[in-house]
Chain A
Amino acid sequence: MRAPDNPVAAKQDVLLAVDNVSLGFGGVKALSDVSFDIRKGEIRAIIGPNGAGKTSMLNCINGFYYPTEGQITFKGVKRPKMRPYLAARGGIARTFQNVALFKSMSTLDNIMAGRSLKMHANFFWQLFRHGPAMKEEAAHRRVVEDIIDFLEIQHIRKTPVGRLPYGLQKRVELGRALAMEPELLLLDEPMAGMNLEEKEDMSRFIFEVNQQFGTTIALIEHDMGVVMDLSDRVVVLEYGRKIADGTPDEVKRDQRVIDAYLGVAH
């Protein structure tokens, strides 16, 4: 894993910029004219009421959808229309709102699958599971074991993830994303449906990932307490539009944000 960057100096560089992005499905507009940026090393929160287009935004960022208008620039390069695996190759990992683990595989194999991009032993050696193929498996197993230790999930190492409780599944999913050693980690509601204790654990992991490995994180979350504590900057979406952008304190005081969350008297 990479050494921690200097957080203060690094936070000035823009890692990913979203410029005037719109996304439509037929007649429905999921995003209209959204612009914001994500700086290297920060924790960026995307919040907003249900149906505001937060997940669509993440889907655009990792190449699952292609914006109908506008553009996304990642590491200074304008993003062409492409398949999602290229985004993964570029260093973007993510977790999903409804856990998208490989249900029949064990925790270990799920996280190992996250190492797919880093494994190169060729087909010939794979046939025999010896030599370079086995050496590589063992080397990556070591990295995976580090992640398992970090997330404190040693005891479920060989359990098929389909049998795990929801909170642990979310943790395994985070582990799988970390195994990709991403530069940008997208977390879609990492704490949805968790109890207080699990939320505290998860917040700690997210914070430590950011601090220890210097990974840039963009997260969607509904729990305002968590968002305000964790994130460096917050962007607020409503009906596919950006209504506010700034530090947690700025956003908290913004009248439009308050209206969006509490409703306005007409």
Chain B
Amino acid sequence: MLYREAGQYKTNYAADMAIFPLREDRVGIAIIILAAYSLAFLGNSFLLQAVMIPFLVFSLAAIGLNILTGYTGLLSLGTGAFMGVGAYACYKLMTAFPGVNVIVWIFASGFFSAAVGALFGLPSLRIKGFYLAVATLAAQFFLQWCFIRIPWLVNYNVSGALDAPLRTLFGVPVVGATATPQTRYLVVLTIVILLTWIASNLVHGRIGRAWIAIRDMDLAAELMGIRPLQTKLLAFAVSSYYCGVAGALLVFLWYGGAEYDVFNINQSFFILFMVIIGGLGSLIGSFFGAALIFIMPIVLGIVLPAMLSPFGLSVGADVIEHLRFMIVGALIIFFLIVEPHGLARLWQIGKQKLLVWPFPY
């Protein structure tokens, strides 16, 4: 009885078109955001550093890929590389202009990956489906090669790796070794909330409709005046923007420095898996998918040794990693067979049930 549509009348179209037309939904979102912020003060630094920050970063990347693959229907296997472009761009900007606030550069770095993404999106006008997927592999391997072979990108640093110089916001360190997990979590959380809100605005408006139209029936969309190339390129650009920002966050606010190998093809695949399991074409699904794929191995690493230790068996970290691959692979097949719309669909069904509860119809 807590969740009801009845009695909430809308008197104008704007209210009916709101993203959360139900009061209960709005309250729910407010509570979640509040809880997320208070976690910064309640949670210990392991929870923040090893669970929450990466979860948010991967969610952001998954939102990015979801815009391209879920909403616009263009399969990309180059997500890892696009994240890398953001990270390297952010590094160059940060070190070239140390005076400007790092938050500005994190947002700016996304534009570089957006440009690169749009460039590699150009073939999408002529090719579709797995042909396009192979074309994005070109981006993955080419960009990864650039990260290795162009020392200028890491300021000719001998290790060839990105490091995180100390940067502050209002005098508090947010990037660098002295930044606490708490501040980094707060910064990441704020950025992710902001960008999620923007993504939700985009997909609910004219642009989102054009993306879905291209996905569902591209020829009909074109015959209605939706320009295919512009729409697809915009999807590539916006998607890569999100991936780029996620890449910058990953290196500077989570890892605190990274090598090119972070942005390899496995990264691309794991983000794709988050999108598939979470639900193609669903923003909230991106969070569910990221949670499942990222948090599962952590839980596995804690639960499995505990379960097996009474029998005198020990489990190494490598075994956990192998199991993770197997479980993720099996989950992908399972979801594609049982619920191709992913966890987001289950969430929807749950809400529907709640709406009519206690009557099952």
Is there a direct interface between A and B, measured as CB atoms under 8 Å apart in the complex?
yes
The complex places the Cα of A31 from the Cα of B222 at a distance, in Å, of 23
Q: Decide if A87 touches B212 in the complex (CB within 8 Å).
A: no
Contacts of B219 in A (CB 8 A): 64, 84, 100
Question: For residue A95, which residue of chain B has the nearest CB?
Answer: B220
Given A104-B212, A105-B212, A105-B216, A137 and B223 touching (CB < 8 A)? no
Interface residues of B in 208-267 (CB under 8 A from A): 209-210, 212-213, 215-217, 219-228
- Report the Cα distance A123→B19, complex, angstroms: 18
Instruction: List B contacts of A137 (CB < 8 A).
Output: 13-14, 17, 205-206
Q: Give the number of A-B contacts (CB < 8 Å).
A: 107
**CB of B12 closer than 8 Å to a CB of A:** yes
Closest to A123 in B: B207
B-contacting 9-mer, from A71-79, A108-116, A226-234, A250-258: A108-116
Which of A37-45, A125-133, A199-207, A214-222 contacts the other chain? A125-133
Determine the distance from Cα of A102 to Cα of B216 in the docked complex, in whole angstroms: 5
Query: Cβ of B281 < 8 Å from any Cβ of A?
Result: yes
A224 at the interface (CB under 8 A from B): no
A residues 77-108 in Cβ contact with B at 8 Å = 83-85, 87-89, 93-94, 96, 100-105
Interface residues of B: mostly helix, strand, loop or mixed?
A: helix
Give A142 to B228 CA distance when docked, in angstroms: 27
Chain B CB within 8 A of A194 CB = no
Please report the total number of A residues contacting B with Cβ < 8 Å. 41
A113 CA to B14 CA, complexed, in Å: 17
Given A85-B227, A113-B209, CB of A103 within 8 Å of CB of B216: yes
CB contacts (< 8 Å) of A101 on chain B: these are 216-217, 220
B223 near A116 (CB under 8 angstroms)? no
Which of the 9-residue segments B87-95, B196-204, B293-301 touches chain A? B196-204
Given the interface contacts A102-B216, A113-B213, does A126 sit within 8 Å of B206 by beta carbon? yes
A126 to chain B, nearest CB (A): 5
Question: Is A10 at the interface (CB under 8 A from chain B)?
Answer: no
| A117 to B220 CA separation, bound complex (whole angstroms) | 14
Question: Are B13's CB and A141's CB within 8 A?
Answer: yes
Q: Which A residues lie within 8 Å of B216 (CB)?
A: 101-105
Residues of B within 8 A of A (CB-CB), count:
31
Is A180 close to B, CB under 8 A?
A: yes
Q: How far is the CA of A177 from the CA of B225 in the complex (A)?
A: 11
Q: Is A121 an interface residue (CB 8 A)?
A: yes
B-side contacts of A210, CB under 8 Å: none
Contact between A176 and B224, CB atoms less than 8 A apart? yes
Q: How many Å from the CB of A130 to the closest CB on chain B?
A: 8
CB contact under 8 A between A84 and B13, given known A100-B217, A127-B198: no
Whether B281 and A104, one on each chain, are in contact in the complex, defined by CB atoms closer than 8 angstroms, is yes
Contact (Cβ within 8 A) A180 B207: no
What A residues does B226 contact at CB under 8 A? 85, 113, 116
Assess whether A141 is in contact with B17, with CB atoms less than 8 Å apart.
yes
Interface on A for B, CB 8 Å cutoff?
Answer: 62, 64, 83-85, 87-89, 93-94, 96, 100-105, 109, 112-114, 116-117, 119, 121, 123, 126-129, 133-134, 136-138, 141-142, 145, 176-177, 180
Q: A126-B205, A126-B207 are in contact. List 19 more A-B contacts (CB 8 A).
A: A62-B223, A85-B223, A85-B224, A96-B220, A102-B217, A103-B216, A104-B281, A113-B212, A113-B213, A113-B221, A116-B213, A129-B204, A129-B205, A134-B14, A134-B17, A136-B206, A138-B13, A141-B13, A142-B13
- In the assembled complex, 17 residue pairs joining A and B whose CB atoms fall closer than 8 Å, in A order, are A85-B228, A88-B223, A94-B223, A100-B220, A102-B213, A102-B216, A103-B216, A104-B216, A105-B212, A105-B213, A113-B213, A116-B206, A126-B202, A126-B205, A128-B201, A134-B17, A137-B17
B contact set with A: CB distance below 8 Å: 12-14, 16-17, 19, 198, 201-202, 204-207, 209-210, 212-213, 215-217, 219-228, 281
List 4 tightest A-B contacts by C-beta distance, closest first.
A88-B225, A129-B201, A100-B220, A102-B216
